[in-house]
Structure 1
Amino acid sequence: MSAQFKFPRFFVTSPAPCPYLPGRTERKVFTELSGTHASELNEALGRIGFRRSQSVAYRPSCIDCHACVSVRVVADEFKTNTTQRRLLRRHSDLVIEACAPWTTEEQFALLRRYLAARHPGGGMAEMDELDFADMVEQTPVTTFMVEYREPSVDGRPGRLVGACLTDQQSDGLSMVYSFFEPDLEHRPGLGTLIILDHIQRARSVGLPYVYLGYWVKGSARMQYKVRYRPIERLGPNGWRRFEEAELEPSAPPAHGGLKFPRL
């Protein structure tokens, strides 16, 4: 960065109910991503556990709690298991395209169905079209929306069944937020497919990692993230690989959490 780069100002939110560990509270530290060095700042903060939401980078800052752990898949060493290969074959007819970060009515309708089925009453449940546009289009970094569509019919684009807002960094892809049709019997495992596709996408362009956001041991909603191995976690001594014993479900640690839109 040039000599004119200014060290960012950080702020801390007030304590609020944790959305992942019932009965506990969360707090976040955040800073604005702006100016000509926004992309560089976002990458630097991403490597120490920050996530992006619009033009803000944030991470947990909970008192006496370290439950939220940043995780990333080692894409160039990842090998699909039998179940994952079967899923890829089942959805091999989908048309997948990385689009510019501009919202559509079709995307928003899909998001509403996803939230109503998977996260009713959650922090994003009241999101309207303007909120959605802000989430996707207000980005100071290299971002795209990956769309997953069924095959075309009569020359028209097929139905949109999945989407993922994704940042591209110099060392990998960061999955900001994904959503998909929640109740298609002939399309099971769309969430898994989206992650597998991002791993393949990263590897195809020589990017070593796919950042999955935060994992909370003991939270059933977060357990899916550790199915993609090898996987690394960020700790006091930097990024290191999980030991198998760490991946076993157990009771969550005391206190803490996070709330900004997460995967």
Structure 2
Amino acid sequence: MRHTLPLTPQFYVTAPQPCPYLEGRMERKLFTSLSGDGAMQLNDSLSKQGFRRSQNVLYRPSCADCAACLSARIDVAAFAPTRSQRRTLNRNAELSRRATSPWATEDQYELFRDYLDERHADGGMADMDVFEFAAMIEETPIRSRVIEYVHPERGLTGVALTDVLDDGLSMVYSFYDPDRQGDSLGTYMILDHIEIAREAGLPYVYLGYWVPGSPKMGYKAKFKGVELYVGGKWAPMRDPSDYDAERHPLKTDPIAEQVANISLPDLRSPRG
């Protein structure tokens, strides 16, 4: 007997674990598998509804009494660099961009380890070995690219794992030389992705989650043209101080209600 995967994605919830962004809180994620012929359609659709990709899984925060995490993207047409961002572009003008297939290399892993050891030694990825790193880069069922940034003398300086959506670029994960912290390489890679999207005629660059009250996420609010996914729709970001991370038992809808409100593509006719 032949068995096929169900056309309708199945959604699950992770067990609560400590929040990496706000101290003293517990996080929980709503997730679904990303596989099969309709993977790109599903990724495109759910990315527009606040989901993010990690290998072959799509997830969105679904914490019991907190709704602080807000999906963020940059409207390329509305973006204009600040004076500080123009200085960042000038400081990194020597870097060359190299786009490759999602294939992990030793140079990438060495840079990744340096970045984690210096910037995120106590984070969830701190113990990631070379095989897990390769899986993060290579296990993608959709159209993904590795964007490398190379200095003429220092060599590989920054890396971004990037998904190509039907309406933009999604920066899945990026890392860079921690010894060049003063060059604002993280900001530079976002600025360059805005330019890549502009060149490709794509309207958005997806940045992941912005969390009010989390210093780790503050940089995302510094880009003109940022939009946030709030209340089931995208809207231009107001003054960052207008948003709060206060807990409230009614801030998050029940899981069944969340799933019922997700708009799913027709996976019976995969895109060619």
Same fold by TM-score greater than 0.5: yes
Match of 1:93 in 2: 94
Paired positions, count: 245
Report Cα offsets for 1:122-162 as digits up to 9, x if no partner.
100000010001001000010011000101x6xxxx51010
Range with bigger deviation, 169-178 or 158-167 = 158-167
**Does the Cα contact within 8 Å between 2:91 and 2:183 map onto a contact in 1?**
no
Aligned residue type for 1:7: T
TM-score (norm 2): 0.86
- Displacement of 1:65 in angstroms is 1.2
Question: One-letter code of the match for 1:182?
Answer: P
1:248 partner SS: helix
Secondary structure of residue in 2 paired with 1:14:
coil
User: Whole-Å Cα distance in 1 between the matches of residues 56 and 18 of structure 2?
Assistant: 23
Inter-partner Cα distance in structure 2 for 1:164 and 1:227: 20
Contact 1:55 1:140 in 2 (8 A): yes
Residue 215 of structure 2 aligns to which amino acid in structure 1? Answer: A
Q: After superposition, where does 1:102-251 map in structure 2 within 5 Å?
A: 102-151=103-152, 159-184=155-180, 188-244=183-239, 247-248=240-241
Query: Which residue is equivalent to 1:62?
Result: 63
Counterpart residue identity of residue 212, structure 2:
K
Give 3-state SS (helix, strand or coil) of 2:111's partner: helix
> Does structure 1 retain, via aligned residues, the 8 Å contact 2:101–2:146?
yes
Deviation of the 1:184 alpha carbon: 2.4
Give the TM-score, by structure 1 length. Answer: 0.89
| Alpha-carbon shift at residue 74 of structure 1 (Å) | 0.6
Alpha-carbon distance between aligned partners in 2 of 1:251 and 1:205, rounded to the nearest angstrom: 35
Q: How far apart are the structure 2 equivalents of 1:174 and 1:119?
A: 22
CA distance, structure 2, for counterparts of residue 249 and residue 135 of structure 1:
35
Helix, strand or coil: the match of 1:179? strand
Aligned-residue CA RMSD (Å)? 1.8
**Letter matched to residue 231 of structure 2:** P
Tell me by how many angstroms 1:87 deviates: 1.4
Tell me, what secondary structure is at the counterpart of 1:197? Answer: helix
Q: Deviations over 1:42-61 (max 9, x none)?
A: 11111111100000000111
| AA partner of residue 215 (structure 1) | W
Tell me the residue number matched to 1:41.
42
Superposed displacement of residue 251, structure 1 = 6.1
* Counterpart code for 1:207: L
Q: CA deviation at 1:82?
A: 1.1
Is the Cα–Cα contact under 8 Å of residues 172 and 209 in structure 1 kept in the other structure?
yes
For 1:128 and 1:5, how far apart are their aligned partners in 2? 34
Aligned CA distance change for structure 1 residues 255 and 96 (closer, same or farther; 3 Å): farther
Contact 1:25–1:255, Cα closer than 8 Å, also in 2: no
Amino acid at match of 2:8: F
